[in-house]
Structure 1
Amino acid sequence: MSDTTQPKKKRKMLTSFSIIFILLAIVAVITVILSGSTPDVTGATLGDFLMAPAKGFADAIDVCLFVMVLGGFLGIVNKTDALSTGIAVLVHKMNGNELRLIPILMALFAFGGTTYGMCEETVGFYALLSATMMAAGYDSLTGAMMVLLGAGVGCLGSTVNPFATGVASAALTGLNIAVDQGVVIGLGLILLVASYIIAVFFVLRYAKRVKADPSRTLMSATEIENAEAAYSNDQENNQEVALTGKQKGVLCFFAAAFIVMVISFIPWEDLGVNFFVAGSASHEETVEVTADDIVAQYDADKLGTLELSDDVSGSLTSTVTDNAGWSAFLTGTPLGQWYFAESTTWFLLLAIIIGIVGGLSEHEIVDEFMAGAGDMMSVVMIIAVSRGVSVLMSSTGLADYVLNSAAGALSGTSGIVFAIGSYLLYFLLSFLIPSTSGMATVSMPIMGPLAQQLGFNPAVMVMIFSAASGAVNLITPTNGAIMGGLALSRVEYGTWVKFALKIVAAIAVVSIIILTIAMLVVPA
């Protein structure tokens, strides 16, 4: 027997796919168990279970298509090196004033997080900022904080992030539940600003402490040694960098892409702003409606089974828009009424324009777009499989059973208890399903209707999900971007948790207060 002991292999955690498939199987088993005692629930067959992911993909096709196009868009932007060069230029211009750089860069990363869920795209910045901050007399952990917390609080306070609030809203609109995007964006901004202030405060305090006394770093001697070996002699941050004219053009169109998307998602007409529909014209149309028409539409909306005992007929007058205004020239839909289809068209167009402005060849544009879209396939499949869970729950009647049971248990519950309980529920569940898109797709078809049934605004529930899952994703080890970024900064996960736990706790408390107030004051 050998005297040497082989090191134990590191146990790998289950992937989001496995967790969701296990959840899908659990749902199927539960329906079988309940079908015997609950007449409203139909037991799932093997075919129902196997077909659920495919049906989920069909049900979420608009979201999936947008995610793929967004991936292609980002792939082309990254090929031009405009983002990385822009960050490097900013770093050099702040030479000697790196402390002022912290809130600026964290704000930029937060903007990326709140608009398009910037997460995996940040990995490349860990090395750059770790080297920069070490050269300025800080440690590599300071650089990691700037990236991770900046993008993290942006995702937590998502406004138009398609992977969080976008998927969650889509899950509810698919159930004919209207989601007020004005509430989502407004509440997202409040959460973003509050979380950003907390994060910047902690990072600045730590950076000042380390700058004044390097021995007060949270990093171990081994971590410091590894970071110095990797970055102390790194001369890249001392090299003069500059944006080319093409890269400046790319950044302008990159910013325009998300500015327009933000504008397009805000329900301007509901806010009394008719600027984007100026010049529109409409006329009234009257059509004859029969009993068969009503039944057909009822079935199409998946509202159940409708039987009409009497012959019903009549006429229906509706207003038809002939021209949706000047801002509808691109997609046929004016700004303020866009959703996934229009946004997909917009980002596809901007991807081509950015490729041309960036000087990419036709082959490079196509190749980078396809590669970027391919990088998003894991997200697309998670959305599809996750939506399969809700499809199975809906088709077997389990969703209605759970909803009615939960509504009965929470009947009479105050908005305070409901908001806090929902946040804690999402906080715990996010450790099991770290994918925000997966969590939104699985849970929102239950929690959104529950909030509406209890007289609360579903848009607030969307933000409860976003805030809770966002807080968890600041520390969860199942987040590949976190683990990869920390590795690049030569920071151990335990060191990060030691620093981040108090930030997460502070952000969670503030978020609960904000969301509870919103649950009470925002009308349903």
Structure 2
Amino acid sequence: MEAHSKKKKSFTLPTAYTVLIIIMALIALATQFIPGVKAAKFSDLVMAPINGLDEAIDIAIFVLLIGGFLGVTTKTGALDAGIGSVVEKLKGRELVLIPVLMFIFSLGGTSFGMAEETIAFAALVTTTMIVAGFDPLVSVATLILGSGCGVLGSTVNPFLVSTSISALKGVGVEVNQAVVIGTGVALWLSSLLISIYFVMKYAKEVQRDKAATLLTEKEMNDAIEAFVGNKNTEEVIEFTTRRKIILTLFGLTFVIMVLAIIPWEKFGITIFAKTSFLTGSPLGGWWFNELGMWFVIMSVVIGLVYQMKEQEIVSSFMNGAADMVGVALVIGVAKGISVIMTTTQLDQYVLNSASSVLNGMSPIVFTIVAFLIYMVLSFFIPSTSGLAGLSMPIFGPLAVSLGFSSEVMISIFSAGSGIVNLVTPTSGVIMGALAIAKVDYTSWVKFVSKILVAIFISSAIILSIAMMLI
């Protein structure tokens, strides 16, 4: 795929790091003028990125280890051969990749809150999309909008639904989860269909005319150099039996990753209860530490299957990890925003102020305003489980006292946080995926803005109807 001739725009935002630090500085400045909030000291601002990295260290290390795993797998040529084979078989039908992948990622989002895990797929999906004739923006959209629409319409996502229900039970509010699931399905499928339509429309335009891309020439060149290099994208590397075995192991690695983080026992499934022999935790109880070690183990297995020497395995792993250092750092810096919010207690101030606005409203107005409030809250508190624990004990009883549904309140939270986490620079997932795909944040905002407007309108209609009927 050749780079287009679009000239570089005269103005672009600074790098992701600078954008995030500017946001931190503005938050710290705001605390100087808000009564009842602890004013941020200069040292709080200085230390926020480091403290953020400290809090996000498990995710950062996980990203580095994924990079190592991809480095070893890429060295074998199995990914190039597999991608080339798939694209060759789909010749003329490459667009089918988009809805299929987006639906699969959305299943992960609605069921177990798939978010950070999508970073593991970013390099592979970006390579595939470039070879298929699209641009890196299509790969980022497939990942972020796919999984994000699932999270927006969470049905059994334990980090959002279960945490919210638990928080409400803690203040004496009972919840019918069937209602939450029903509303969640409507939010999930409506937002997913909207996203698939826009992504496929854009992908068609780029595939037909490379000048239609929203990316700058630099972004395209950086992505092509990183994911395709000087290789002829029309060439199909020989897909040998050994490479097929490696690609099978590669796929198995991600299957196990997904099985390992779904909380099976919460759904009454106990078949994985005795699978703790590898990490000390059974499948369903793994998190970033166990997942990281799993990728290390499979790196070694794949290297040995390809008959790589020990030094070659280590060298490939380290080179792959080195490629992910920038991604790991941007995730940590993004987390620093949450740290400074918590340190100054600004998060609690915003939460309490927001709840006081909702009194005395009609169902539709209450729903729309609550939706908007959750969008604001989610910008400052991008963690869904953290926001659920903080907000539900306040908003849930408030909704019930006004005669509204606590179940729909959970869905309002799900939609509000979900839509913001598709674009907010405070999300390590957004910034991490963009960094891997070599896409600037400004390009992502330009692409996703109209999609977010459409999703907001459809979600607001669904939530308003649910609030009036339930």
TM-score by length of structure 1 reads 0.60
Rg bigger for which structure? 1
Q: What are the equivalent positions in structure 2 for 1:31-430 lying under 5 Å apart?
A: 31-34=31-34, 37-38=35-36, 41-95=37-91, 98-99=92-93, 101-104=94-97, 106-108=99-101, 111=104, 115-117=117-119, 118-119=121-122, 121-130=124-133, 147=139, 149-157=141-149, 194=190, 197-198=193-194, 239=235, 241-277=237-273, 326-411=274-359, 416-417=367-368, 420-422=371-373, 425=376
Q: Which residue of 1 aligns with 2:394?
A: 453
Query: What whole-Å deviation, never above 9, does each CA across 1:8-53 have from its counterpart, x for those lacking one?
Result: 982231222112212222222233333xx43xx3322222222222
Structure 2: give runs of 5+ residues left out of the alignment.
1-6, 107-113, 152-156, 170-176, 225-229, 397-405
Q: 2:256 is matched by which residue type in structure 1?
A: V
Q: Which residue of 2 aligns with 1:23?
A: 23
The 1:109/1:205 distance shift into structure 2, 3 A limit, reads: closer
Q: Flag the structure with higher strand content.
A: 1
Rounded Cα–Cα distance in structure 2 between residues aligned with 1:519 and 1:500 = 28
Rounded Cα–Cα distance in structure 1 between residues aligned with 2:67 and 2:18 = 23
Query: What whole-Å deviation, never above 9, does each CA across 1:50-77 have from its counterpart, x for those lacking one?
Result: 2222222222222222222222222323
Rounded Cα–Cα distance in structure 2 between residues aligned with 1:207 and 1:25 = 37
Rounded Cα–Cα distance in structure 2 between residues aligned with 1:203 and 1:28 = 37
Say whether the 8 Å CA contact 2:49–2:334 is kept in structure 1. Answer: yes
Q: 1:251 is matched by which residue type in structure 2?
A: L
The 1:266/1:417 distance shift into structure 2, 3 A limit, reads: same
Rounded Cα–Cα distance in structure 2 between residues aligned with 1:83 and 1:122 = 11
The 1:9/1:236 distance shift into structure 2, 3 A limit, reads: closer
Q: 1:440 is matched by which residue type in structure 2?
A: P
SS of the residue 1:32 aligns to: coil
Q: 1:72 is matched by which residue type in structure 2?
A: G
Identical aligned residues as a percent? 30
The 1:472/1:401 distance shift into structure 2, 3 A limit, reads: closer
The 1:371/1:151 distance shift into structure 2, 3 A limit, reads: same
Say whether the 8 Å CA contact 2:38–2:345 is kept in structure 1. Answer: yes
Q: 1:30 is matched by which residue type in structure 2?
A: A
Q: 2:382 is matched by which residue type in structure 1?
A: A
Say whether the 8 Å CA contact 1:43–1:396 is kept in structure 2. Answer: yes
The alpha carbon displacement at 1:418 in A equals: 5.2
SS of the residue 1:327 aligns to: coil
TM-score by length of structure 2 reads 0.66
SS of the residue 2:132 aligns to: helix
Rounded Cα–Cα distance in structure 2 between residues aligned with 1:477 and 1:368 = 25
Structure 1: give runs of 5+ residues left out of the alignment.
1-6, 131-141, 160-164, 278-325, 430-437, 487-492
Q: Which residue of 2 aligns with 1:11?
A: 11
Query: What whole-Å deviation, never above 9, does each CA across 1:111-162 have from its counterpart, x for those lacking one?
Result: 47865234455443454222xxxxxxxxxxx677864653343243356xxx
The alpha carbon displacement at 1:327 in A equals: 0.9
Rounded Cα–Cα distance in structure 2 between residues aligned with 1:352 and 1:515 = 49
Say whether the 8 Å CA contact 2:60–2:331 is kept in structure 1. Answer: yes
SS of the residue 1:328 aligns to: coil
Q: Which residue of 1 aligns with 2:382?
A: 440
Q: 1:449 is matched by which residue type in structure 2?
A: L
Q: Which residue of 1 aligns with 2:174?
A: none
Deviates more, 1:382-391 or 1:182-191: 182-191
Q: 2:118 is matched by which residue type in structure 1?
A: Y
Rounded Cα–Cα distance in structure 2 between residues aligned with 1:74 and 1:459 = 37
The 1:18/1:206 distance shift into structure 2, 3 A limit, reads: closer
Query: What whole-Å deviation, never above 9, does each CA across 1:366-421 have from its counterpart, x for those lacking one?
Result: 22322322232223222322332322332333332222222222356767325631
Deviates more, 1:144-153 or 1:374-383: 144-153
The alpha carbon displacement at 1:338 in A equals: 2.0
The 1:197/1:8 distance shift into structure 2, 3 A limit, reads: closer
Q: 1:380 is matched by which residue type in structure 2?
A: A
The 1:519/1:478 distance shift into structure 2, 3 A limit, reads: farther
The 1:425/1:67 distance shift into structure 2, 3 A limit, reads: same
